[in-house]
Amino acid sequence: MSDVADDHEPPWRLTEGGVSRALSLVEAEVSRALGLVEVAEVEQLGATLERPQGRRFFTGQGRSGFVARMAAMRLMQLGGRAHVVGEATTPAFGEQDVLVVISASGATPTSLLHAQQAHAIGGTVCCLTTDRTSPIALLSKPCVILPTEGSVQFRQVLFTQAALLLLDGLAFALAAGDTATQWRNHANLQ
């Protein structure tokens, strides 16, 4: 028998003041995690992404995959050549290219395979993870560590929240106020 109810009431409910408490908790946790990030690691990632040669590829699974897609979209809007691994239009990865892996554990099997393949090709592997000693982190330079231990949120939710905001902040820094390029490259068939 499944734990999923079909035609029954959902197993959740709001308590008075629950939304305010939850939003305050999420804000505090994300702020703490981003405040503990080594800025030098993020600057190294930014320097790697702004290299003129090569393309930028992004990968992640589950919620990390959504963050990877958003980061690739943001770099494309900034005028960069950015792709998401596994999409039908993604080109072959080469020696001049950069792969950014987003994986809380740093050991997600599919993401690890992508990192190993990119490393074997001779390209640059970068990652966002929580574990500096993980297999993906050991293949990556630079590697940005997001310290998210102690979160009361479900599993690795804090990791993906912090990863999204970190990558959006990095894109904002790379854009240096250039909104014209972003608007020019923004999707217009929607």
pLDDT for the residue numbered 1: 54
DSSP structural state of residue 44: H
Mean pLDDT of the chain: 94
Q: Residue 51 class from Cβ within 10 Å (0-12 exposed, 13-18 middle, 19+ buried)?
A: exposed
- As a whole number of angstroms, the distance between CA 59 and CA 103 comes to 9
Amino acid at 73: M
Question: Taking 90 as the threshold, does the pLDDT of residue 6 lie above it?
Answer: no
**What is the gyration radius of the CA atoms in the chain, in angstroms?**
18
Domains of the chain and CATH, by start: 38-185 (3.40.50.10490)
Continuous segment of H or E residues that includes residue 37: none
Count CA atoms closer than 13 A to 114's CA, side-chain side: 26
Cα–Cα distance for residue pair 87/73, rounded to 1 Å:
13
Residue 155 DSSP one-character state? T
Q: How confident is the model over 53-99, as pLDDT tens digits?
A: 999 999 999 999 999 999 999 999 999 999 999 999 999 999 999 99
Q: 135-150 burial by CB neighbour count: b if 16+ within 10 A, else e?
A: bbbbbbebbbbbbbee
Amino acid in position 181: T
Q: What secondary structure letter does DSSP report for 112?
A: H
Q: pTM for this structure?
A: 0.91
pLDDT in tens, 13-65: 888 999 999 999 999 999 999 999 999 999 999 999 999 899 999 999 999 99
* pLDDT for residue 123: 98
Distance of CA 1 to the CA centre of its chain: 36
